[in-house]
Chains A and B, each alone.
Chain A
């Protein structure tokens, strides 16, 4: 026998204004966040790629890392209180991700060389584009301390003054200058035997 349902028991109380307003506000905030991020994307996307490329020396890997860095930055964009620090923040994310990838690829390389000694370090295209000195230079850069390497890369990017690099890395200008100086000297020590 079918149980008769009291229609009053099936009613539910809603507050349409509040629910809709909340949803609307959430969507509007998300859209505003997305717009704000996209405004920065065009300017800072290439920066992330170049930082990653400087560390990884491989276009495909650098593109992967830059994408990952940008997506990670988007996911955490809400947490960034001072949005003027976005560039510095993104540079650090991209640099850290690139360093991590280098380390993991080095581990993989070590594993692979146990089986095959002919594993190429970079793609053929990348190798063809670099001269012998350039190759030595990039290897020497790999061996630099991270703090020197990042400063050298950022300072070498077109349009970056030492003041901008200092601002980006939240460092005093004197520290940036000193890291540049010692970074270049370290590179020179490593490359003296491979002069052009």
Chain B
């Protein structure tokens, strides 16, 4: 049975699709091209559709490529300077708190086990204290402020066995008056950044600029060279000796 002859209306959708796809360099199908060759009204309709899509593309390009105001980037840079330093932490506060609780529980658990293992070792050391090498137990850095104030009481001799832990590198701790804390921190910061000038430790700067120090040239008066006194003449003591 022969297929029914297609009308112009049947080609309508294909015609629009072909016009829309022209931007992608796609050509109308062979069947549509044959129809366009034969039908003048569809050729006109196709041309109009192509024109419409071209106008749409031009319009979108005009919208999408609008001129960027010159003030945009300088304004953003100015606002960036006013922004606080971006937060480094991306973990939500609740997650951080939960992690802290878990960590605390783990520390308590580990400490409890340590105490249990430490007790027998201490008993052994009390039996034979002399014939074993000893080390000074260092306090952990986290407890440093409390430990250091009562340092003499804490320093004790323990066995240098496998359970004794000595930190690989010690953090230097310094005692300073409370009121000077900020000043010391500022000083350290400037030293770190190589911003500390030569006058950092001076109490006050001289008001006037230092003048070049003038020093008179060194003068050496001529030395008079004289021959030695009469060598033949005898001293009074020598005379007395010869008299005897």
Contact = CB atoms under 8 A, between A and B. Distances in A.
Contacts of A53: 63, 66
Contacts, number: 175
Nearest to B17: A185
A7 B177 CA distance: 8
Nearest to B81: A34
A63 to B, nearest CB: 6
A79 B21 CA distance: 40
Given A79-B90, A188-B16, A153 B60 contact: yes
A70 B80 CA distance: 9
A30 B71 CA distance: 25
Contacts of A13: 144-145, 148, 173-175
A152 B79 CA distance: 31
Given A74-B86, A181-B20, A191-B52, A141 B72 contact: no
Contacts of B211: none
A130 B90 CA distance: 45
Contacts of A181: 20-21, 24
Interface in B153-207: 171-179, 181, 184-185, 188-189, 192-193
A188 B52 contact: yes
Interface stretch (A100-108, A112-120, A131-139): A131-139
A99 interface: no
Given A13-B175, A45-B73, A71 B80 contact: yes
Interface residues of A, number: 65
B88 to A, nearest CB: 6
B13 to A, nearest CB: 10
Contacts of A38: 77, 80
A157 B66 CA distance: 9
Contacts of A134: 59, 62
The 5 closest A-B pairs by CB, nearest first: A156-B64, A137-B59, A13-B145, A46-B68, A156-B60
A186 to B, nearest CB: 10
A195 interface: yes
5 contacts: A14-B184, A49-B69, A57-B63, A137-B59, A184-B20
Contacts of A59: 66, 69
A41 interface: yes
A188 B49 contact: yes
Contact of B24 (A19, A157, A177): A177
B40 interface: no
Contacts of A184: 20, 23, 53, 56-57
B235 interface: no
Interface in B1-60: 16-17, 20-21, 23-24, 48-49, 51-53, 55-57, 59-60
Contacts of B148: 13
A74 B78 CA distance: 13
A15 B65 contact: no
Contact of B141 (A15, A19, A37, A78): A15
A77 B86 contact: yes
B61 interface: yes
A180 B53 CA distance: 12
Contacts of A67: 72, 75-76, 79
